Amino acid sequence: MNPRLRQLELRQRALVLRSTLQRRSLADQGLALSARFSGVESKVALARRILSWPALGAGVATMLAAVGPQRLLRVVSRLLVLATVTRRAWRVMETVVLRTRTGGRGRPPPPRTR
């Protein structure tokens, strides 16, 4: 084989290997950034939902100015947890009351819709 062709072939293999390693490195960095910013994305989604209601958005902005961002996020996260727990407790109570009224059978299955 021609020495020049062999040299070009070796260079091509080296470049392909180098680009494969760089691709893997970029993918790993992308995963690390994605994991790092996943919490931020959920907070941005929450902020968008809140700001979709103008009065609630104005109230949040006022509280943010008065209390500060860290304390506000702490209070809001606790309120969301409290709302979730309350909703689940309400469902459990509805189930208990329904079972006591129907003799332990619970609620009939919903009709199937297609």
Quick one: pLDDT band at residue 22, thresholds 50, 70, 90?
A: very high
- From 7-11, 25-29, 64-68, 80-84, the region with the lowest mean pLDDT: 64-68
In sequence order, the 6+-apart residues with CB closer than 8 A to the CB of 72 are 60, 63, 64
Spatial CA neighbour of 81 closest among 91, 71, 93, 73: 73
What is d(CA 76, CA 80) in angstroms, rounded to the nearest whole number? Answer: 6
State the average pLDDT for the chain.
82
Taking the CA atoms of 75, 78, 84 and 85 in sequence, report the sign of the dihedral they define: negative
Residue 29 one-letter amino acid: Q
| pLDDT of res. 107 | 58
Q: Confidence class of residue 24 from pLDDT cuts 50, 70 and 90?
A: very high
Asked if pLDDT for residue 50 goes beyond 80, the answer is no
Quick one: which H or E segment has residue 107?
A: none
Q: How many CB atoms lie within 10 A of CB 47?
A: 13
Instruction: Tell me how far apart the alpha carbons of residues 28 and 70 are, in angstroms, rounded to a whole number.
Output: 31
* pTM exceeds 0.75 for this model: no
What distance in Å separates the CA atoms of residue 15 and residue 22, rounded to the nearest whole number?
Answer: 10
